[in-house]
Amino acid sequence: MNRSYRENAGRGSKRRRLALIAGVVMMMLVLQACGNQAGSGGSGPAGGSAGSDTAEAAGSGTGSQAPAVLNFGYIGSNKLNVPGGAEGWGLYKGIIQEELKKYGITEVKLTGFPNGPDQTESLISGRLDFGSLGDTPAIIAYASGAKTRLIAQTSAHTVGYLIGKKDGPKTVQDLQGKTIAIQKGSFMHRYVAGLLKQEGVTGYKLVHMLIPDATAALARGDVDATTNNGVAALKQLEQGYTHLDDASAHPDLLGSSATVVSEEYLAKFPDFPKVWNAAREKALADLKQHEEEYYEFLAEIGDTTPELAKQVNPISDIKDTAFTGEGTKLLEGTKNFLVEEKLAKQDFNISDWQLR
């Protein structure tokens, strides 16, 4: 009887030990699974389960995750489907793509837009992740509630031209009561409005037209003057149209570029500003080692000559850092003017918009 009792007790004790060991093993497996799941999430909402369109940063050491496809908008249209500047050079040569691959971005989709307002609409709607455009439409959009952040101002010397029709106005003062074609909400809109205010010209009429339509309207004589910039403006002047003014004579009316990213994309990839600006600076360093090739590249996308491309877009205009004091001052002046003229819906601090 005692022997049987001891044997049963021994078997019961063994079963309890096995059950305890099995329980500990199961708990360790659960904890390990939880740890793996938490570790796969990255630093933002984009780090979901397997099968999502994100890829973990490779070799970055940050643990950040980025969607595999990056949607980038720029102003213009050309056969190479890239912008100018360091960004365009870097994308054209593949320098930026190689840098972005380190963070899981395997494709950059580029879309050209005729003007800034059209681009900001696509950014707000979520069709774009970020874009490079003129400062004026970027400011107007942010002042209207667009959830964007300014991550770079790569140029602060964009020159707008005011061009009169043939046998039409000869001076800015001659625009009193005249009709001027502008791209509403563009940096050239801001330039013309600011210029006419400084010169005391009143009674004029501004009509919104994209540059191709405005050019045709000027040729027909339907408008008295129009705005343009870059190579296109110089070509118009060569054709005999009247040079009324340009922003190079008014430093406070120069345009600047703005690289903005949606807050929605930042939530997915918080490290993007740092990653993008570093890739852009690497592209700029390479560009400076190949100046003649760069101007040939600009000539190809601008349908012009390298000499004219160098005149209009000198490398010296490209900023080698995301922000400069000169550029921020220009942004402040542009923003203040837009608010005073009620072109921007509300005032704000540039520093609140910038993401340094």
| Res 251: pLDDT | 92
Average pLDDT for residues 73-89, to the nearest whole number?
A: 95
Average pLDDT for residues 21-29, to the nearest whole number?
A: 40
Pairing between β-strand 69-75 and β-strand 107-113 as defined by DSSP bridges: parallel
Six-digit token string for 110: 């580029």
pLDDT averaged over every residue in the chain: 86
Q: For residues 151 and 136, give the distance between their C-alpha atoms in angstroms, rounded to a whole number.
A: 15
Domain boundaries, the chain: 59-157+255-353, 160-252
Statement: residue 35 has pLDDT above 90: no
Model confidence at 185, in pLDDT bands (50, 70, 90)?
confident
- Per-residue pLDDT of 296-338, as tens digits, reads 999 999 999 999 999 999 999 999 999 999 999 999 999 999 9
Statement: residue 2 has pLDDT above 90: no
Model confidence at 356, in pLDDT bands (50, 70, 90)?
confident
Statement: residue 34 has pLDDT above 80: no
Statement: residue 274 has pLDDT above 50: yes
Q: Name the architecture of domain 59-157+255-353.
A: 3-Layer(aba) Sandwich (3.40)
Residue 257's DSSP bridge partners are 134
- Per-residue pLDDT of 112-164, as tens digits, reads 999 899 999 999 999 999 999 999 999 999 999 999 999 999 999 999 999 99
- Per-residue pLDDT of 218-272, as tens digits, reads 999 999 999 999 999 999 999 999 999 999 999 999 999 999 999 999 999 999 9
C-alpha 257: how far from chain center: 9
| Res 64: pLDDT | 59
Q: Which fold has domain 160-252?
A: D-Maltodextrin-Binding Protein; domain 2 (3.40.190)
| Res 11: pLDDT | 47
Residue 54's DSSP bridge partners are 67
Higher local confidence (pLDDT), 239 or 33: 239
Model confidence at 110, in pLDDT bands (50, 70, 90)?
very high
Higher local confidence (pLDDT), 24 or 155: 155
Q: How many CB atoms lie within 10 A of CB 293?
A: 14
Beta strands in 222-272 (DSSP E): 225-229, 242-246, 257-262
Statement: residue 206 has pLDDT above 50: yes
Q: For residues 116 and 135, give the distance between their C-alpha atoms in angstroms, rounded to a whole number.
A: 9
Share above pLDDT 70 across residues of the chain, in percent, rounded to a whole number: 82
| Res 336: pLDDT | 94
Model confidence at 341, in pLDDT bands (50, 70, 90)?
confident
| Res 41: pLDDT | 32
Q: What is the DSSP string of 84-140?
A: SHHHHHHHHHTHHHHHHHTTT--EEEEEEESSHHHHHHHHHHTS-SEEEEEHHHHHH
59-157+255-353 and 160-252 share one CATH topology?
Answer: yes
Statement: residue 42 has pLDDT above 50: no
Q: For residues 320 and 282, give the distance between their C-alpha atoms in angstroms, rounded to a whole number.
A: 10
pTM over 0.85: no
